[in-house]
Amino acid sequence: MLDFQMEKSSKKQGPSGGLYDVVIVGGGPAGLTTAIYTSRDGLKTLVLDREAAGGLAATTEGIENYPGFPEGISGADLMDKFREQAERFGTEIEEFEEVTDIEPVEDGPFKVHTDEDQVYEGKAVVIATGSAPKKLNIPGEKEFYGRGVSYCATCDGPLFRGKDVVIVGAGNSGLQEGLPVLEYAKSVTFIEFLPYSIAEQILQDRVKTHDNSKILFSHMVTEIKGDKTVNGVVAIDRETDEEKFIPTDGVFIYVGYTPYSDFVKDLVELDERGYIKSDAHMQTNIEGLYAIGDVKANNPAQMSVSVGDGAKAALHIREYLQDLPSSTKKQ
């Protein structure tokens, strides 16, 4: 394990946000699980989130593969339970405050800087920032964002009741988010770059047997067209090079994710895709700094895995803090 040594920082110091045993950056399933464990252990715990706590999981229409909910549960309801449980044990949660820098300090706690010019101190820091949907970076995508282009079918799908919809991507995310849209849209066309779907078979079966669905494999969307709002997409058949115009009122894009790791790219070790490397205890190359969930390298982007990451990190943090002086454990 590498220790990070540095001179006293000359960075601008904002108002102190207080000293914590554990500062968790990100309030999704992984971060809130860590908070449940550490707070229950009596460790003073803070969760900072750039948005509302819950992460991408909170925007998922239905979650069927999380243990304990045989009938399924909405992502929003499940994450509300995570939050309530963390707060019950004393976790403090600050929303809409984005962390811009994590500063290791020799012989002292980490300094966690935010866009609100706050500086929080944490004896251990957990990065649980997750990932963001990738963009296609094609003509019309940026221009029609919010006017027919969306990255969240759960959020915006109901706006397209009785209309034609295109979903770009037929992996787990695309099919799972597309299923509820099929119940009220006139039609849903899934456009997949690959010649097959990598989604779970149960999702593929549900989509393929639905009357209103169609999947175009080996197709690439090259442009989104419209006037005031979207009216269609241009796609190329990768096997024949035929260019097609597909009329649609809405476009939902699910082509993978990009990790939220830029703010620590010069601090921790990343893999070639920008995900943070951490060991079996979830610790990065810097002692006391952890990475968990969808921002961590080699994570299959499953909620149950992220929850496991959070629990592992919390258990190691307990041991790590026992070796540090002057604990701030709550009395």
Check whether residue 70 and residue 82 sit in a common domain. yes
Q: With a cut of 90, say whether residue 12 has pLDDT above it.
A: no
| Domain end call among 253, 287, 313 | 253
Examine the domain organization and report whether 227 and 315 are in the same domain: no
- pLDDT grade for 271, boundaries at 50, 70 and 90: very high
Question: What's the alpha-carbon Rg for the chain, to the nearest Å?
Answer: 22
Instruction: Look up the domain containing 48 and give its range.
Output: 16-132+257-322
E strands within the chain?
A: 16-25, 45-48, 92-94, 99-103, 110-114, 119-127, 131-133, 149-150, 164-168, 187-191, 213-216, 219-226, 230-237, 243-247, 250-253, 257-259, 289-291
10 is a domain residue? no
Residue 265 lies in a domain: yes
pLDDT(7) > 50 = no
pTM above 0.75? Answer: yes
Contact present, 36 and 81 (Cβ < 8 Å): no
Is the pLDDT at 10 greater than 70? The verdict is no
Q: Which of 233, 253, 273 is the last residue of a domain?
A: 253
CATH code of the domain containing 169: 3.50.50.60
pLDDT bin (cut points 50, 70, 90) of residue 13 is low
Distant-in-sequence, close-in-space partners of 71: CB < 8 Å, separation ≥ 6: none
- Among residues 204, 228, 253, the one where a domain terminates is 253
DSSP 231-260: EEEEEEETTT--EEEEE-SEEEE-S-EEES
Kindly tell me if the per-residue pLDDT of 66 is higher than 50. yes
Low-confidence winner among 48-52, 195-199, 321-325 (lowest mean pLDDT): 321-325
Question: What is the pLDDT at residue 303?
Answer: 92
Residue 298 maps to a domain: yes
pLDDT value for 8: 37
Same domain, 241 and 313: no
The predicted-structure confidence for 216-268, as pLDDT tens digits, reads as follows 999 999 999 999 999 999 999 999 999 999 999 999 999 999 999 999 999 99
Residue 42 pLDDT class (50, 70, 90 cuts):
very high
Distance in angstroms (rounded) separating the CA atoms of residues 29 and 47:
12
Measuring CA to CA, which residue among 186, 191, 161, 208 is closest to residue 252? 191
Give the three-class secondary structure for 322: helix
Same structural domain for residues 163 and 80?
no
Please tell me whether residues 297 and 153 are part of one structural domain.
no
What proportion of the chain, given as a percentage, has pLDDT over 90? 82
Per the domain annotation, does 143 fall within a domain? no
Number of Cβ atoms within 10 Å of the Cβ of 135: 15
Alpha-carbon span 77 to 304, nearest angstrom: 16
Q: How many domains does the chain have?
A: 2
